[in-house]
Amino acid sequence: MSQRKRVEPGDTVPLMLTAAERDAIVAEVVPPPDLEDKLRLGLAKGGRLQYLLTLDELDELQGWVAATANHSRKQALQRTLDAVFNKIEWLLEGYTDEEK
């Protein structure tokens, strides 16, 4: 396993989403208001939207995304949310805010 990049607790990391992924989260996942507000304010970067979230926020969002995907009967929505889940998982595996 590769080395995880250390960040300070509360530091943010960039989550890159397509507009469709962001729209699916806001419309279907309905995360807590503080996360939903952040997801409405993405920065455009090369055809994608960038969201700066803490590792705790990413972990919380991943749980909401997984629950919605697992309970949805819409296959297209499941695929979209599975892609978001995998992006978040990749970030959570690549960063840590824990002490050595």
Q: What is the pLDDT along the chain (100 residues), one digit of tens a residue?
A: 468 999 999 999 999 999 999 999 989 998 888 898 888 888 888 889 999 999 999 999 999 999 999 999 999 999 999 999 999 999 999 999 888 7
Q: Is the residue at 4 inside a domain?
A: no
pTM above 0.95, yes or no: no
Range of the domain at 82: 10-95
Q: Is the residue at 100 inside a domain?
A: no
Q: Is the residue at 85 inside a domain?
A: yes
Domain count of the fold of the chain: 1
Taking the chain, what is the end-to-end CA distance rounded to the nearest angstrom? 16
- Contacts with 87 (C-beta within 8 Å, 6 or more apart), sequence order: 15, 16, 17
Q: Is the residue at 58 inside a domain?
A: yes
Q: Is the residue at 1 inside a domain?
A: no
Q: Is the residue at 84 inside a domain?
A: yes
Q: Is the residue at 5 inside a domain?
A: no
